Chains A and B, each alone.
Chain A
Amino acid sequence: MHVPDGFLDVPTSVGTALVAATGVGLALRGARRELDDRTAPLAGLVAAFVFAAQMLNFPVGAGTSGHLLGGALAAVLVGPWTATLSIAVVLLVQGLLFADGGLTALGTNITLMGLVGVWTGWLVFRGVQSLLPKRVSMVVPAAAVAALVSVPVAALAFTGLYAVGGQAPIPLDRLATAMLGWHTLIGLGEAAITGLVVSAVVAVRPDLVHGARRVLATRKLVVVGRDRDDDQVAA
């Protein structure tokens, strides 16, 4: 979903650049709360993985392909603020080094994938998680649903931006339908990859998964009580 230069007019691109800059600024502060000595190495890996996964276009039929956006994945693994930063860095490198995603559209792309994609993914994840049993294993389906929803929502956000500042006079209803249709299919791939990766990390190190913190907290307490039986009795 990398928007090239020229799809959106200058005012809209300036607007999205301001939104993106504000979002990244807030994320620089917010990420401090998510990152510590334990989780920082995973964050670097997640950004590198998202870059790699975005090279892996999978076919979605009729001469079209899609690739992981990675917003929901990163948000669940390392937290939404860190995820926003990671997607922004991936997009910056892609734009500067690989000519993927226009440079004047960098703000648009960060807005769509780093803000809309990440935060839709995170909010849906939290919503689904609150409906499911409070178990660590439930992090995986919640992440998959979040990933599925995040892609068409980001596609709709693009449609909204095009309605404001698109450079070609096109029927917006057709644009919305086409964007939504294709990106729901791509969302299925997004859900599959996200579910796979999250389940792999949850299997070996659930304590590093940001989205598992809430459900782990209660379980860990039991362990703490057992470990420190003497302390607890004495207290």
Chain B
Amino acid sequence: MRRVSTRALVVTGLLITLVLAGVVSFYASSHPDGLNHVAEKVGFSGTAQPHASDGSPLSGYATRGVSDQRLSRGVAGVVGVVVVGLLFGGLTWALRRRRSDERASAATVLDTTETGAPERERDGSSAVARERDGSTSMGR
């Protein structure tokens, strides 16, 4: 299949994710999940306590104040996707190794190993090394 850009992949994936949470989720099974089912059958579901966030605006994946069930769940799903995406996207963006760091480390690798190729084979990071080469030789 054709290679797509990271941007195209992420945008497409996000659209699919939003449709899943915003539309498809309405058709999800409303039966208790495996754990809750087992809890009922084996007889310990009674010890479950009310959730501290019960009654919060989105509790139970329903949006308070939206009477249409389809819309209520859809809005909750979309909000959840956006919140998780922003939270985790921000976290990973903060944690990632910056390209400038990589350029520095790539320079070190090249300095110490001259041609580099056999070393790359050994440490198995050729894909990354290749991209580093690309980004450095692209003449920034």
Interface residues of A (CB under 8 A from B): 1-7, 28, 31-33, 35-45, 47-53, 55-60, 63-67, 82, 85-86, 89-90, 93-100, 102-103, 155, 158, 162, 166-168, 170-171, 174-175, 178-179, 182-183, 185-186, 201, 203-205, 207-208, 213-214, 216-217, 220-221, 223-225, 232, 235
Q: A41-B89, A57-B31, A208-B9 are in contact. Are A103 and B51 (CB under 8 A)?
A: yes
Q: Does B124 contact A (CB under 8 A)?
A: yes
**24 pairs from A and B in contact (CB 8 Å cutoff):** A5-B49, A32-B97, A36-B97, A40-B89, A44-B89, A44-B92, A47-B89, A51-B80, A55-B28, A57-B33, A63-B31, A64-B33, A66-B33, A82-B92, A90-B84, A97-B53, A98-B58, A99-B52, A100-B51, A103-B53, A174-B42, A201-B9, A204-B9, A235-B117
What range describes how many residues of B lie at the interface? 35 or more
B44 adjacent to A45 (CB under 8 Å) = no
User: Nearest 8 CB-CB pairs, A to B?
Assistant: A44-B89, A99-B59, A6-B49, A168-B44, A47-B88, A52-B21, A65-B29, A48-B85
Measured between beta carbons, the chain B residues less than 8 angstroms from A203 are 1
Main secondary structure of the interface of B (DSSP, over half): helix
Task: Report how far A89 CA is from B76 CA in the complex, Å.
Answer: 17
A52 adjacent to B124 (CB under 8 Å) = no
Task: Report how far A32 CA is from B96 CA in the complex, Å.
Answer: 6
Closest to B14 in A: A45
A42 adjacent to B6 (CB under 8 Å) = yes
A204 adjacent to B3 (CB under 8 Å) = yes
The one of B7, B43, B88 in contact with A48, judged by C-beta atoms closer than 8 angstroms, is B88
Task: Report how far A31 CA is from B115 CA in the complex, Å.
Answer: 30
Q: A4-B49, A235-B115 are in contact. Are A41 and B10 (CB under 8 A)?
A: yes
Measured between beta carbons, the chain A residues less than 8 angstroms from B80 are 51-52, 55, 93-94, 97-98
Measured between beta carbons, the chain A residues less than 8 angstroms from B47 are 6-7, 167-168
Task: Report how far A7 CA is from B127 CA in the complex, Å.
Answer: 47
B35 adjacent to A3 (CB under 8 Å) = yes
The one of B2, B9, B77 in contact with A52, judged by C-beta atoms closer than 8 angstroms, is B77
Task: Report how far A147 CA is from B95 CA in the complex, Å.
Answer: 26
Interface string of B37-70 (1 = CB under 8 A from A): 1110111101111111110101111000000000
